[in-house]
């Protein structure tokens, strides 16, 4: 007798991937994008797509370019360079997804018509209706805004139920778990407390957008096989940031 499908808790989701995640857990000097990591991510994404989830992905570019590290380049110029890096990552992820049978569309906030569509809200929603995965690249199209803010903005625009922030750690801690072995991991934390404690889950602009539009954030480790599916099924994986009480 076939096993019953698990019911998903979220119907429309924004998955936020940092560029650094594409390097893999080891980083790997000289390897900006790890094919093994891309394939592993694509398989997890395919798994949740087959559960009927409408999925959008916002991807960063920090594996290729981090403008904040370059003090000699004008900030606005450096940020535009970072936007171009997100396009490279988005195309790499699109290739991996389509090789695994997940149809995708890349939408960019900056004009680059040869490789992507412009971001149009109604067109993105239409892609969801056609069972496609949408990858948002180019940030917000403006300097001085992070891709965390992009994720919060796009989630608000498309009416997403949640933002899933994929990281290399298993949630939000009160201090750096790499430096402090006694660091406490939160299961749940409120937007206000996360802001007050400067926990650096997302920047303050992104937090404010999520708080104003009541969009919860789940911070989790995507490198653990099956975690994305577990989050979608409502299991307590990682840390939930919402307007509820902390614990």
pLDDT digits (tens, 9 = 90+) for 87-99: 999 999 999 999 9
The Cα-based distances of 13 to 58, 83, 104, 110, 228 in angstroms read: 11, 22, 15, 23, 11
pLDDT of residue 153: 97
Write down the pTM of the prediction: 0.92
Q: Rounded to whole angstroms, how far apart are CA atoms 14 and 156? A: 10
For 27-31, 36-40, 107-111, 112-116, which range has the lowest pLDDT when averaged over its residues? 27-31
The CATH code for residues 12-242 is 3.40.1160.10
Q: Tell me how crowded residue 16 is: count the other CB atoms within 10 A of its CB.
A: 27
Angle between helices 204-212 and 147-158 (to 10 degrees): 10
Contacts of 100 (CB under 8 A, 6+ apart): 39, 42, 43, 45, 46
Contact in structure between 120 and 136 (CB atoms under 8 Å): no
């Amino acid at each position: 007798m076939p096993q019953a499908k698990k019911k998903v808790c979220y119907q429309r989701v924004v998955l936020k991937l940092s560029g650094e995640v594409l390097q893999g857990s080891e980083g790997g000097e000289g390897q900006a994008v790890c094919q093994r990591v891309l394939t592993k991510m694509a398989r997890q994404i395919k798994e949740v797509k087959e559960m009927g989830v409408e999925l959008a992905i916002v991807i960063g570019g920090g594996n290729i370019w981090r403008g904040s590290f370059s003090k000699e380049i004008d900030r606005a110029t450096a940020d535009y360079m970072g936007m171009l890096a997100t396009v490279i990552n988005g195309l790499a992820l699109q290739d991996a997804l389509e090789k695994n049978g997940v149809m995708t569309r890349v939408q960019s906030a900056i004009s680059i018509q040869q490789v992507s569509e412009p971001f149009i809200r109604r067109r993105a929603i239409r892609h969801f209706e056609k069972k496609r995965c949408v990858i948002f690249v180019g940030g917000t199209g403006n300097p001085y805004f992070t891709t965390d803010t992009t994720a919060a903005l796009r989630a608000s625009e498309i009416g997403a139920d949640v933002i899933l922030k994929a990281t290399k750690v298993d949630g939000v801690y009160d201090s750096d778990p790499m430096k402090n072995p006694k660091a406490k991991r939160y299961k749940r934390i409120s937007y206000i407390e996360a802001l007050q404690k400067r926990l650096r889950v997302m920047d303050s602009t992104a937090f404010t957008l999520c708080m104003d539009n009541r969009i919860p954030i789940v911070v989790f480790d995507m490198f653990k096989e099956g975690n994305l599916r577990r989050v979608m099924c409502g299991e307590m994986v990682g840390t939930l940031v919402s307007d509820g009480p902390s614990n």
